[in-house]
Amino acid sequence: MRILVVGASKGLGQALVQGLGGQGDTLIGVSRSRPAALPGAAQWIEADLGQPRQAAAIIQEAVSDAGLDVLVYNVGIWEARAFEENYSFLEDDEGQIERMVDTNITAPLLLIKRLLPLLLQSARPRIILTGSTSGLPGSGRPEVTFGASKFGLRGIAESLREGFREQGLGVSCLNLGYLNTEDGLDVPLAEAERRGEGSLIPLHDVVQVCRMMLSLSSASYVRDITLPALRDERF
C-alpha cells in the first residue's frame, strides 16, 4: 500500500507515519516542517494546509506518478483558548476562525478532490478522516468553530461514501477524544497509558485502530469509530 498521512510533523500524525504499514508498504508524510523522527523508508512532502489550494496542488503533483491507496487526513487546529475553562466564542479572533475553516474544512475538500482520481485506481481505496468527539452530538464542548469543523468533517465522509460507493471507496471517520501526545510510540504502552490516569488516549491505541481499519478486505470498511478516553465522562 501507498499511504499518505497529512499532518505528520508531530503527535498523532508522526505516530501514524511510524506505526502504519508493513513490509512493502510506502508511507508518505505531509507537513509544513520535516518531522524530527521520520522513519528511514518514509517519504515527506512539504506543504502548508493553511493554504489549501496551493497545498493540494503540491501534494497531487508529488504523488501522481506512483499512485495512492490510502489518504489519512490528520490536520486539525483549534481556538487559542480551546478546552480551557475561560473559553469564550465572543473573544475568538476572526482571522483565526477563517484559518481554522481553511485548514479543517476547505483543505480536506480540495485535497480529496485532487487525489480521488488517483485513489480510485487502487484495488482498495481508503480515506481515514481523524475527527473528534467534539464533532458528535452531545459532546459537551463549547468551542464553536472547532466543533463545527469536526461536524463538517463527518459530513464530508458521509457524502463521499454515497458518491463513490460503487467505485469501492471506503471512507472512515475516527472520532477521537483527548489524546496523550506527550508520549510517542517509542514510549512503552504501559507507561503511556498511565499519563492522565485514564483521561488520555495513548497514540499507540489510535495507531492500532488504524492498522485494523487498513487490514480489512475490499468487501468491508469501518464507517465510524468513536474512541474516547475511559474516564471521559461525556461518553
Q: Which domains does the chain have, with CATH numbers?
A: 2-227 (3.40.50.720)
Angle formed at CA 151 by CA 150 and CA 155, multiple of 5 degrees: 115
Q: What is the CA radius of gyration of the chain?
A: 17
Q: Can you tell me the distance from the alpha carbon of 93 to that of 81, in angstroms, rounded to the nearest whole number?
A: 11
The whole-number pLDDT of residue 224 equals: 95
Task: HSE, CB side, 13 Å, CA atoms: give it for residue 104.
Answer: 25
Digitized pLDDT (tens) for each residue of the chain, 235 residues in all: 999 999 998 899 999 999 998 888 999 999 988 877 677 678 999 999 999 999 999 999 999 999 999 999 998 899 999 999 999 999 999 999 999 999 999 999 999 999 999 999 999 999 999 999 999 998 999 999 999 999 999 999 999 999 999 999 999 999 999 999 999 999 999 999 999 998 999 999 999 999 999 999 999 999 999 999 999 988 8
The whole-number pLDDT of residue 141 equals: 93
Q: Give residue for cell 482498495.
A: 124
**pTM of this structure:** 0.94
DSSP-derived 3-state class of residue 145: helix
* Cβ contacts of 149 within 8 Å, gap of 6 or more: 76, 100, 101, 104, 105, 135
Closest Cα to residue 25, out of 6, 46, 39? 39
The whole-number pLDDT of residue 40 equals: 66
DSSP-derived 3-state class of residue 209: helix
> What does the chain come to in residues?
235
Q: Can you tell me the distance from the alpha carbon of 56 to that of 58, in angstroms, rounded to the nearest whole number?
A: 6
Looking at this protein, which amino acid is placed at residue 167? Answer: Q
The whole-number pLDDT of residue 49 equals: 93
Angle formed at CA 92 by CA 86 and CA 96, multiple of 5 degrees: 135
